[in-house]
Each structure stands twice: as structure tokens, then as C-alpha cells.
Amino acid sequence: MGFGLGASLFEGAGVRALRQLRVMPSFAGDLLDPAQSHGDLLVRVAGEDAEVVRKAVADIKAVAARTGWAVRWSIDGFRAENRVEGGRGLARNPFNFTEGFGNPENEREVADRTLVREGQGEPEWAVGGSYQVVRVIRFATELWDKDSVHEQERIMGRRRDGRWLDGAPVGEEPNFAADPKGRRTPLDSHVRLAAPDRRNPPQLVRRSYSYDRGDGDTGIIFSCFQRDLAKGFEAVQKRLEGEALAKYVLTTGGGYFFVPPPCDAWIDALRDGGPGTPQ
């Protein structure tokens, strides 16, 4: 179980607020539903057994009701083919692509990208904590399925199983410099825009869940952690504007939160947590 604090929680609380925490803005193409966005407190419940997770969520909701906290929104998630390979947590998303390869394989690098440090201008109590971004992203799976796998792979910039389009194996780096016009890996593909400079990887760690609410309302509960929102999520999100993937996805909710220290438990979960029900 994990908690994240929303910007609204700090209003009038008399605590020195965080330098970067604010209500998540609407980015290009977003259609944020206020009833599925933001909030004072994010509660994330995850586990191997969906029934146990559901029971825990019901208990938390009951406690919330007794103590006067209103549940603003909640969503169930799962990770298809959830597994760990080479130190990275992997899962298959509703577009049938495996996600997680771009995350760091070792714990030290995970901590380096995600945990707030001394000297970052954040209050003392926040050192060792992490900014969490949640985005409920709906997938146009019918439209996606009309494209061939080859076209889909050019939109993502990787093969479905993670291999690079220039032939580099999963665990190695592609040579984008040798492909300046994007013949092998299109310039507007997801990974090429997300991480153009292979020596300076994006300063975030992702761990998303799939969701399926029926009637075609399926997609991912994108979630990422970083120690600096502007250098982490926001820098990547801005680069992704105009990507080929944009017409197949729509962000409808989510929020910015701050996970207070200690974060050891969720760092472990980032690497090997099971399927579950984040709230």
C-alpha cells in the first residue's frame, strides 16, 4: 500500500509546502474529467491476489466514510503478463506492447532518478520522498487494431517484444545517430521522442497498470516517479507532443502527488510488485 499527498492537502495546513507540487495541468490533447482527477490523498493498493486487494480497498473506503473523507475517484488496474526480467518489471498493455524496458535495471539508478535529494530546494521532511504522476489514458483499441503490427511498431519505435527497430537487442541501445531521418525508427515514434539522447535517459521511472471498465473503455493507469517534476515527467510529456501515438490515446484523469519518505517499500514494488488495484 502507498500514499501520495495532493497539492490541495497543503492549503492552510501550515506545513512548508513542496517546491513543485501543484494541481496537474492539462497538457495538449488532454480531456481531464474533474471527477477522475486530482485529490488530497492518493491511496495505492497492490498485490498478487486481486480478491485480497479488493477487500483491502473496501476496508479503506469504509474507514474513509467513518472518518469523513470522501472518495473522489477510484480505478481498478491489473498487469497482464506481469514479470521481472533483467531487474525490470514488465507487463503487456492493451495495445499488446510490453512496457518497462526503458526503466533502469538496478536499484541505485531507480533511487537516483526518483528520490528527492538534499539541496534540491525542497523542505527537509521531503528528502527521500518522490513525486508521483498518475494519468488515466484511454486507448482507441479499435482504431489501433486496424493498423498492421509493422505500422504499430513504427508508431512505438520498438517491436512488441521490446527489440529495437534498427535490430539492436532488447537490453542494448539503438543507434539513433545513424538514422537521422528516422527511416528505421521514425522521428515521431514514442520511444524516439521520449528518450532521444541515449546517454541522458529520462529522469523518471514508470510503472503503469492496465484498466478495462467495459464498453471499450480500456487503457492504462500510467504512473511514474521522479525527484523533479519539471526534469522528469514534464520534460518527457512536452517532447511527446505531436507524437504518432497521440491520435490513439486520450488522457482523461489523474493527478500530481508526493509520496513522503521512506520509499523503500514502493521501490521494491516498482521492481517486483504483483498485479493489483491502485486507487
Distance CA 274, CA 279 (A): 15
How many residues sit in the footprint of ligand HEM (CB under 6 A)? Answer: 26
Distance from CA of residue 261 to its chain's centroid?
19
- Site for ligand HEM contains 260 (CB under 6 A): no
Q: Which amino acid is at 145?
A: D
Contact 209, 76 (CB under 8 A): no
Distance CA 118, CA 16 (A): 15
Pairing of the two strands 80-85 and 41-46 = unpaired
Shortest Cβ distance from residue 236 to ligand HEM (Å)?
4
Shortest Cβ distance from residue 122 to ligand HEM (Å)?
21
Residue owning grid cell 466514510: 65
- Site for ligand HEM contains 266 (CB under 6 A): no
- Site for ligand HEM contains 100 (CB under 6 A): yes
17/131 with CB nearer ligand HEM: 131
- Site for ligand HEM contains 95 (CB under 6 A): yes
Binding mask 203-232 for ligand HEM (x = CB under 6 A): ---x-------------x-x----------
Shortest Cβ distance from residue 83 to ligand HEM (Å)?
13
Shortest Cβ distance from residue 141 to ligand HEM (Å)?
11
Binding mask 161-200 for ligand HEM (x = CB under 6 A): -----------------------------xx--xx-----
- Site for ligand HEM contains 99 (CB under 6 A): yes
Shortest Cβ distance from residue 85 to ligand HEM (Å)?
12
User: Which ranges in the chain belong to alpha helices (H)?
Assistant: 7-10, 50-67, 107-114, 141-146, 149-156, 190-194, 235-239, 264-272
On the question of a cis peptide bond just before residue 186, with omega within 30 degrees of 0, the verdict is: no
Shortest Cβ distance from residue 126 to ligand HEM (Å)?
22
Shortest Cβ distance from residue 222 to ligand HEM (Å)?
5
b/e for 112-128, b at 16 or more Cβ within 10 A? Answer: ebbbbeeeeebeeebeb
87/201 with CB nearer ligand HEM: 201
Q: Which amino acid is at 173?
A: E
Q: What would the DSSP string read from start to end of 188-251?
A: TSHHHHHS--TTS--S-EE--EEEE-STT-EEEEEEEEES-TIIIIIHHHHHTTT-GGGGGEEE
Piece of the chain touching ligand HEM by CB under 6 A; list 47-55, 72-80, 98-106, 123-131: 98-106
Q: Which amino acid is at 244?
A: A
Query: Which residues of the chain form contacts with ligand HEM (CB under 6 A)?
Result: 93, 95, 97, 99-102, 135, 137, 156, 158, 190-191, 194-195, 201-202, 206, 220, 222, 233, 236-237, 240, 245, 249
